[in-house]
Amino acid sequence: MKKAIFLITIFIGLISSVAFSFEGYERYPMLGNTIYPLTDVDVKLSEVSIQTNKDSSEIVSTFVLENLTNEQQAFKVAFPIVSNCIGDCTAMPPDLVVTIDGRQIGTTLSALGKTLFVRMRAIVSEDAAKHYKFEKEKAIIWEVALKPKERKAVTCRYSLDWYFEPPQEVLMVDLTPAILWKGNIDKVHFRLYLPKRVKAAVASRTARVKIQPPTRIQGNRDFIEWNFKNLDLRKRDKSNVRILGVYVWYSSREHE
């Protein structure tokens, strides 16, 4: 099985512990799974919809952007590589397709630069610079233009496997980068289909599953679904939701 480098800097701490914890993710605010602006713009991320494919490793993420002003805005958008790749996480994912309102657009690969990191650090974590040099991190970049009060849907389609380190397996979606957009997110929907190996292990009780935030496995043990409204990523209390994930511990090696 291919190993996805999926929030790898966070997983090192997670996998070394039996406890299911997301502490420390604020130190890595640009290694998430949402798009974010490279400059300060009056644009809101009003909706996020993420869904994995039932029969493959494909993931489809749609982000609805809304211009909050009465003026046209043109800006660049970034999408992290290291947390959205399989294998070589220094290159653009080979099957990545980005569309805006259904039309495919061109993208480039570029380093983030120091200015953006300083802006993110001021919002998320004052001491983050001591732990990671984000200005050297590369991201997928493209341009977006919005007319006054206009809304557009940006969709990223690509392949992404679970991160597998026997006897544990993890898949998470980190919304932290979206904190750079203005305001709260009106709607968040995430449907995660479980791979056959996970479904079989759950059915045979050869694995323990932890879901965060807590919810139930739905259908015929097919998928997990989260829905949120008016999500404020700036909150730091227990109601804060930035990372959605599933953590599986196997009690046998039959799945390998």
Q: What is the pLDDT of residue 116?
A: 66
Q: What is the pLDDT of residue 162?
A: 81
Q: What is the pLDDT of residue 74?
A: 97
What CA–CA distance (Å, rounded) separates 97 from 135?
Answer: 25
What CA–CA distance (Å, rounded) separates 60 from 192?
Answer: 11
Domain total in the chain: 1
Domain-embedded: residue 215: yes
| Segment holding 171, helix H or strand E | strand 168-174
Structure tokens at 75: 């800006």
What CA–CA distance (Å, rounded) separates 239 from 173?
Answer: 17
The pLDDT tens digits of the residues spanning 51-110 come to 998 878 889 999 999 999 999 999 999 998 877 776 767 777 888 999 999 999 999 988
Give this prediction's pTM.
0.83
Domain-embedded: residue 255: no
Domain-embedded: residue 256: no
The structure tokens 């480098």 sit at 5
- Which among 186, 18, 119, 195 has a CA at the least distance from the CA of 128? 119
Domain-embedded: residue 3: no
Helices H / strands E in the chain, number of each: 3, 16
The pLDDT tens digits of the residues spanning 186-196 come to 999 999 998 88
Q: What is the pLDDT of residue 253?
A: 53
Beta carbons of 248 and 169 less than 8 angstroms apart:
yes
Whether residue 177 is preceded by a cis peptide bond, meaning omega within 30 degrees of 0, is: no
- Structural domain of residue 183, as residue ranges? 8-250
Kindly tell me the sign of the dihedral angle through the C-alpha atoms of 223, 229, 232, 236: negative
Check which CATH number belongs to the domain holding 93 and give it. Answer: 2.60.40.3680
Within 13 Å of residue 108, how many CA atoms lie on the same side as its CB? 7
- Cβ neighbours, 10 Å, residue 87: 13
Domain-embedded: residue 167: yes
Domain-embedded: residue 214: yes
| Residue spans of the chain under pLDDT 70 | 1-31, 86, 88, 113-136, 236-240, 252-256
Beta carbons of 73 and 143 less than 8 angstroms apart:
no
Domain-embedded: residue 1: no
Domain-embedded: residue 2: no
CA distances to 41, 103, 131 from 97, rounded to whole Å, are 24, 10, 32
